[in-house]
Structure 1
């Protein structure tokens, strides 16, 4: 199996630059991320949100001497480890995180030298103590270990003081603007964390600083004070499978990573099979990279096995696991899977089979439509399906039968084709003959909705410690990586969080480079698991 890398967190800056395919679509997003207006980059897991953030950061670093625009990258992926606290306390942690990231970016830019125990810019109107800020961050992020403790936050600036500090910093060192890239904007299944973040996101702006944030579709709670379309530029990261250059761009994304000459040869010889996998990935690079790594021979037998094992099995299992991690959403998660798997996909397949056999209708279809006044519980379940990448919102305000208005969704193409007897035989026909105007409709009172009536999201107690006690086999890691950690008794998710590179080097045949790679991959997998 080829050693392809699926997560941005595991890539070095040089690899990100080498792997970046600068299509017009991607570069247009990058340009908006570097522009003055705050941006929300919305997309399901694996579509490349973090990757484009890192590309933007790298490009700004390279042009800093001329543009005077300083990029600052902040990740909030450790938010699941923050012990339950108030929204106000959570904002202190976010502010501390941003302060620390600004210090690091300024220091690395060469603009100023920081002494670890000295106040920063003592001649500014506001002085910030870097060691105290690091202390606050560490105390918050170790709060999951238990024990009651009061975290002193006196050294963390309030919003006005921080904005004054940023202005002083920019004016003192001829920095035009600071662009903050906030990745993993708070735990997606803890609404109070999200509300706290977006309240700060809205207010954290001036001529000298702007923020961008990555968010997931559907499951993001913005709170009462933040209006996405008014307070930011919203970009939905969905690659259009109908674009003429779609397959060629997806092939380039894969080819940039592949070093195995045999796999490159297989990709070249089996172009039609690769195209089928590219469409099955529905614009998601992580899905495509995983599929290619599973189907190295790229022949029909390997392709059909990918549809059977990945799109009919693993991808559904990942969605179902959400109910285990977030029991308050259990009924919505289970109904969503049943609705898509036993109602929507069979009906789409029936429509497609009729067209392929007798050319009944305008063409095949990948789409279904839901009435705008469908029950809120249905919309909640559909939003979680979007988060999982099992479907994608294609367009709002679409008129259907009797001029009713609703939203059109595209089903994950891999999941749709996995229902075919032999996907490698019928798959490309279904895709090429699909018509966007053709969609199955679900009105405001469809019979499928009845089971969800009266369901409510349950705010259960924190289950963090239960998750940390679970076996690392639940993480999205290679079997070899899991084996090496088990060798040295790193058996639970909690063990991974606390393991150091020096611990990993105790395993056989693991030296500095491999230890770093394994730890990066393991920690990224842990946070992805905890974040949902």
Structure 2
């Protein structure tokens, strides 16, 4: 079968997740700011590290970049492992540990094979054997070992996280350094793991600083060279203004930024009305479908989607009415911490999905008390602006280093009527029971499977998403009409559907 990257009809702009890039094409389509470089260095250094960020913020890209560089320098034995493995989602306790040891053992063996090493590593069935095997491996290769765990956390399955962080702490030693990616709001670290002493936590979020603007421009130049040409933009719109407004509109989320840039790939000329239309399209075709997509992944927290939606709509309503002496509504909202604590899980979901982004962990309110400052995505905010039209004054306001924020104080009635639902007693993810048509091409999955490919899978007995996730490559390749490229796409889609 033809590999996707050898297919002349293949469009690299369709790849959104870092995990989906072949390693030999990774460097050509990824660029890192000086802040990113500092994170990569910490991922390569000694000591346990957790990098924290929302969906599409660049956590995987940083882990993969660190792994590639350590491998190329050959001074450290690096292992990158994505924990997108269904049995890990469906197990707990000793069963989770057994699966974890097996998948990590397989990955270590794979790394040794790639490096053409004659060092043997026996598959571990338990934690003791794994610790002993890694210690022997470090001595045999004469190198420190760095274990990079991606997709370790899942909003809908918090209990196994306690087991993972216990493993994370136990495996860390003077010769083995563990690193992992987590999402905002992870709280269940277990009784043995102390977040303040057992790891260094680094926030991946790209803050509103000039360096970030430069970073997104560089990404655009590298991945979309035609868009970087000055002649592509109208007289009043510059490349820097276009990229800056787009990045800020999407709360600095890299995956959303790439998806938005795809919308301009075929345009000969880009004007402010084109950018305006893109932001409105992202509100309706990206942000709201995200809510629908993530809901069945949340397990017992699925009812919180409705609460999160209500909260966000009220935040947007308040922000859209406040201009604070500027030409535009405020995109920053300061919320009393008592309110954020009360609605912790809905705020976690909103931040994870990129509807909002935390810009300041604690700031004083004029009415008393303290709370975090959130930036809201400008796409949804623009929907509430009169005429849904973005002016140059608004663009300049949103690009400026704005410190003022709309305040929601502790006695505010903004969230009056927003209730927290009772949590159902479920121990599984609803996504696994969704019909396979759930991941067809559409607003939820812009690069989903076509009806023809779905029919081939359904006719072969794959009725729901869980069936596809559990299928082996050998099972799928046996289906007439299914080739390597389709298997990779189906695998990426099913992982996206189930994991956060």
Q: How high is the TM-score relative to the length of structure 1?
A: 0.80
Q: Which moved more, 1:413-422 or 1:93-102?
A: 413-422
In the aligned structure 1, how far is the partner of 2:39 from the partner of 2:367? 37
SS at match of 2:440: helix
SS at match of 1:414: helix
Gaps of 5+ in 1: 115-119, 121-127, 131-154, 358-363
User: Of 339, 343, 347, which residue of structure 1 is paired with 2:318?
Assistant: 347
Give 1:242-253 correspondences, 5 Å limit: 243-253=209-219
Q: How high is the TM-score relative to the length of structure 2?
A: 0.85
Q: Which contiguous aligned blocks of 4+ residues in structure 1 show a shift greater than 6 angstroms? A: none
In the aligned structure 1, how far is the partner of 2:233 from the partner of 2:420? 53
Gaps of 5+ in 2: 1-9
User: Of 273, 298, 316, which residue of structure 1 is paired with 2:242?
Assistant: 273
Tell me the equivalent position of 2:424.
458
1:168 positional shift: 1.9
Give 1:375-524 correspondences, 5 Å limit: 376-420=341-385, 421-423=388-390, 425=392, 427-433=394-400, 435-436=402-403, 438-453=404-419, 455-462=421-428, 463=430, 465-467=432-434, 469-473=436-440, 477-478=445-446, 481-483=449-451, 485-486=453-454, 488-489=456-457, 492-494=464-466, 496-497=468-469, 498=471, 500=473, 503=477, 506-507=480-481, 515-524=483-492
Does 2:61 correspond to 1:47? Answer: no
Distance 1:310 1:520, change over 3 A: same
User: Of 283, 295, 298, which residue of structure 2 is paired with 1:326?
Assistant: 298
Deviations 1:459-512 (A, max 9, x none): 3242354125553327855558525523634575356433748749954xx8xx
Higher helix proportion: 1
Tell me the equivalent position of 1:24.
34
SS at match of 2:205: coil
Give 1:144-163 correspondences, 5 Å limit: 156-159=125-128, 161-163=129-131
Tell me the equivalent position of 1:255.
221
In the aligned structure 1, how far is the partner of 2:89 from the partner of 2:140? 38
Give 1:17-166 correspondences, 5 Å limit: 17-64=27-74, 67=75, 69-79=76-86, 81-82=87-88, 84-112=90-118, 120=121, 128=122, 130=123, 156-159=125-128, 161-166=129-134
In the aligned structure 2, how far is the partner of 1:402 from the partner of 1:78? 48
In the aligned structure 1, how far is the partner of 2:300 from the partner of 2:441? 20
Distance 1:262 1:31, change over 3 A: closer
Tell me the equivalent position of 1:14.
24
The answer to whether the 8 A contact 2:162-2:190 is kept is: yes
